[in-house]
């Protein structure tokens, strides 16, 4: 298992520089097979009148090509690579969505705050788990499930009112778009920290909240 994860995340694989090299169907199957994450196909981009539009048909779509396509998307999500391959065979351009509140929750902060927090984490513990950034300029840190329930208290414990920080937590019912999803005309979702064998045991929200909250407070 360790070897497959290493192969999955090595040079030219799903993450980092290899983002463009792996198509959505293969990436989705690998997330299911090697990371043990549920995956769900979302909307996609369609060229229409010389411009890219979201397959949802809403001209004002806030996340073109990077959100659920169906109301029952959560029930459709699968942890089976075989089922994932079958779903993306039908919709090869569909975005790759990872439901939150299952294998992981997500702490979401502005990209600038995320980079600041990562710089602090580089110098000392805790080590971050996988981190994804998207063209909406938000950075999303994967943490153990259960974060959604306890982050507000953790933030209060650090001395901030949760509502004053631009920090959100995604738990049950939420999702994140994963590489190689293309997000509107602005670019693609990418891994800032790739899923690897080393970070497959995700950090707890309590371990990451201090650097993330401090970074968000500085960005206010």
**Residue 42 or residue 179: which is nearer to Zn ion going by CB?**
42
What minimum distance in Å lies between the beta carbon of 91 and Zn ion?
Answer: 14
Q: Any contact of residue 54 with Zn ion (CB under 5 A)?
A: yes
Based on the shown chain and the rule CB under 5 A, indicate whether residue 93 belongs to the binding site for Zn ion: no
Kind and range of the H or E element at 204?
none
Yes or no: say if 31 and 98 are a contact pair by the CB < 8 Å rule.
Answer: yes
Q: Which residues pair with 175 in a beta bridge?
A: 99
DSSP classification of residue 60? T
Residue with tokens 């950090």: 203
Measured between its terminal Cα atoms, the distance across the chain in Å is: 42
Asked whether position 178 contacts Zn ion by CB under 5 A, the answer is no
The interface with Zn ion within residues 22-51 (CB under 5 A) comprises 43
Q: Judged by CB under 5 A, which of 10, 16, 46, 61 binds Zn ion?
A: 61
Give 217: exposed, middle or buried? Use CB within 10 Å, 0-12, 13-18, 19+.
middle
168 vs 193: CA distance, rounded Å:
19
The interface mask with Zn ion, positions 117-146, x = CB under 5 A, is ------------------------------
How many residues in the shown chain lie near Zn ion by CB under 5 A? 4
Q: How far apart are CA 170 and CA 104, in angstroms?
A: 9
Using rule CB under 5 A, residue 177 touches Zn ion: no
In the bound complex, what is the minimum distance in angstroms from residue 56's beta carbon to Zn ion?
A: 3
Contact call for residue 206 and Zn ion (CB under 5 A): no
- Smallest gap, in angstroms, from Cβ of residue 49 to Zn ion? 16
Largest Cα–Cα distance of the chain, in whole Å?
52
Name which position in 56, 81, 158, 210 contacts Zn ion (CB under 5 A).
Answer: 56
Residues lying near Zn ion in the complex (CB under 5 A) are found at: 43, 54, 56, 61
């Amino acid at each position: 298992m360790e070897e497959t994860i290493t192969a999955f995340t090595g040079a030219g694989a799903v993450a980092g520089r290899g983002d463009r090299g792996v198509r959505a169907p293969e990436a989705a199957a690998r997330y299911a097979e090697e990371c043990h994450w549920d995956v769900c196909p979302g909307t996609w981009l369609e060229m229409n009148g010389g411009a890219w539009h979201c397959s949802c048909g809403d001209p004002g779509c806030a996340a073109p090509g990077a959100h659920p396509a169906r109301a029952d998307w959560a029930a459709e999500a699968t942890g089976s690579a075989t089922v994932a391959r079958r779903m993306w065979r039908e919709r090869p351009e569909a975005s790759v969505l990872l439901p939150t509140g299952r294998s992981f929750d997500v702490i979401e902060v502005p990209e600038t705050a995320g980079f600041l927090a990562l710089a602090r984490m580089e110098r000392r513990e805790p080590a971050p788990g996988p981190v994804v950034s998207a063209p909406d300029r938000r950075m999303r840190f994967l943490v153990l499930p259960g974060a959604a329930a306890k982050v507000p208290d953790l933030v209060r414990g650090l001395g901030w009112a949760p509502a004053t920080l631009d920090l959100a937590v995604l738990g049950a019912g939420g999702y994140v778009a994963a590489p190689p999803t293309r997000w509107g005309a602005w670019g693609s979702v990418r891994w800032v920290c790739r899923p690897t064998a080393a970070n497959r045991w995700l950090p707890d929200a309590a371990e990451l909240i201090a650097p993330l909250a401090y970074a968000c407070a500085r960005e206010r």
